[in-house]
């Protein structure tokens, strides 16, 4: 089995890009000093993210293919949260020289599989030597001629709705961390998130006032929306009962409060938005927008449990 050090950078890159197709949005893919990506309406939505081995994923839990899918999915969700459609990804990857080249090929296969789910391509990237795996992803998105949906804009009296599911990734993490077998779907949902692809555009077309990707936790991310909009938000646990029920058995097995996962667990990459008018199909109302000051209440009270992920917390 060849390693990255044995093959060398350019041979590995050649293997990773050989035979890959590109969507129409990628006019020029890997092979030159820069890619060329078409921007339909003259604007490009851009987001970037990093995954570091041991911090954001573990290779004793995840396969390289899983890591590739996760890296692309969480970045695609950021474009969805702006009301756009992902069109192309640029990938930076670092790994030790002794890394099997087959593992890197599996990583790339996972990235391509997830990118193809949203009709996007991988336009280029970089490969470097690094003490552990580091995956840096930049995504480009097409807003389709619409205004971007920002975190600011929610108004008192509007409804808060969610597309996607909550608490699954946090439940899966707890199961993995405690070595509890079973609950295969929840364990899998921690390794590979399932953003509600296409629902960001649906929300934008329905007149969403504000929107955010739930990457850090529902309370934390709704808090960002509330702060940006200068409003309060009151979340309704009755409307979130299906999420609680989906993780309750796992919570009992771990000895955890299922609400801590639903309200404070991140990495599900659901979308939350404020709507003044009708909520589109595949969205469910989970709360309402209040007059300021900016705050997040749960059933009218301050939430005292975990609010979400902190990047620099130990």
Domain final position from 98, 116, 142: 142
Question: What does pTM read for this prediction?
Answer: 0.91
- Do 254 and 262 meet the contact criterion of CB atoms below 8 Å apart? no
Check whether 213 is labelled as a binding-site residue: yes
Based on the domain organization, do 90 and 222 belong to the same domain?
Answer: no
Contact 109, 12 (CB under 8 A): no
CATH of the domain at 92: 3.30.1330.10
Q: Which of 142, 174, 197 is the last residue of a domain?
A: 142
> Would the annotation count 309 as a binding residue?
yes
Pick the last residue of a domain from 90, 115, 142.
Answer: 142
Give ∠ CA 268-185-252 in degrees, rounded to 5. Answer: 85
Residues 187 and 130 reside in one and the same domain: no
Tell me what pLDDT residue 21 has.
80
Contact 193, 169 (CB under 8 A): yes
Q: What is the pLDDT of residues 182-234, one digit of tens each?
A: 999 999 999 999 999 999 999 999 999 999 999 999 999 999 999 999 999 99
CATH code of the domain in which 182 resides: 3.90.650.10
Q: Is residue 118 part of a domain?
A: yes
Residue 126 counted as an annotated binding residue: yes
C-alpha to C-alpha distance for 308 and 267, rounded to whole angstroms:
10
The pLDDT assigned to 11 comes to: 79
pLDDT at 269: 97
Residues 101 and 12 in one domain: yes
Residue 272 lies in a domain: yes
Q: Three-state DSSP class for 23?
A: coil
Is the same domain home to 10 and 112?
yes
* 142 is annotated as contributing to ligand binding: no
> Residue 56, annotated ligand binder?
yes
Cis previous bond, 293, omega within 30: yes
Asked if residue 48 belongs to a known ligand binding site, the reply is: yes
Q: Which residues of the chain have pLDDT under 50?
A: 312
**Residue 125 annotated as lining a ligand binding site:** yes
Question: In terms of domains, do 134 and 39 share one?
Answer: yes
284-290 and 134-142 as β-strands: parallel, antiparallel, unpaired?
unpaired
Shared domain check, 132 and 163: no
Is 307 among the domain residues? no
pLDDT at 7: 80
Domain count, the chain: 2
In a domain, 311, yes or no: no
Q: Each residue of 92-128: pLDDT tens digit?
A: 999 999 999 999 999 999 999 999 999 999 999 999 9
Residues 230 and 281 in one domain: yes
- At residue 309, the pLDDT reads 63
Residues 117 and 203 in one domain: no
**Residue 9 belongs to what domain range?**
4-142
Residue 237 lies in a domain: yes
């Amino acid at each position: 089995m060849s390693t990255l050090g044995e093959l060398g950078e350019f041979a590995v890159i050649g293997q990773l890009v050989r035979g890959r197709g590109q969507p129409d949005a990628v006019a020029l893919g890997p092979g030159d000093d820069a890619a060329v990506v078409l921007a339909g309406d003259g604007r490009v939505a851009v987001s970037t993210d990093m995954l570091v081995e041991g911090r954001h994923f573990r290779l004793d839990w995840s396969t390289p293919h899983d890591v590739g899918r996760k890296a692309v999915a969480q970045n695609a969700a950021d474009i969805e949260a702006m009301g756009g459609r992902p069109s192309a990804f640029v990938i930076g990857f670092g790994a030790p020289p002794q890394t099997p080249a087959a593992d890197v090929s599996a990583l790339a296969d996972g990235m391509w599989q997830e990118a193809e789910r949203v009709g996007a391509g991988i336009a280029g990237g970089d490969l470097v030597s690094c003490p552990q795996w580091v995956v840096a992803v930049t995504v480009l998105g097409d807003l389709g001629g619409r205004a971007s949906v920002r975190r600011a804009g929610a108004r008192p009296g509007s409804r808060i709705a969610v597309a996607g599911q909550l608490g699954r990734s946090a439940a899966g993490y707890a199961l993995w961390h405690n070595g509890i077998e079973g609950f295969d779907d929840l364990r899998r949902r921690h390794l590979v998130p399932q953003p509600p692809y296409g629902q960001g555009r649906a929300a934008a077309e329905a007149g969403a006032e504000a929107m955010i990707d739930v990457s850090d936790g529902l309370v934390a991310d709704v808090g960002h929306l509330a702060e940006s909009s200068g409003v309060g938000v009151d979340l309704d646990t009755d409307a979130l009962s299906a999420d609680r029920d989906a993780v309750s058995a796992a919570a009992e097995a771990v000895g955890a409060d299922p609400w801590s996962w639903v309200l404070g667990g991140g990495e599900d990459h659901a979308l939350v938005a404020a709507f003044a008018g009708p909520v589109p199909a595949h969205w469910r109302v989970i709360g309402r927008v209040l007059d300021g000051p900016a705050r997040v209440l749960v059933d009218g009270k301050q939430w005292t449990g975990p609010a979400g992920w902190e990047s620099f917390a130990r």
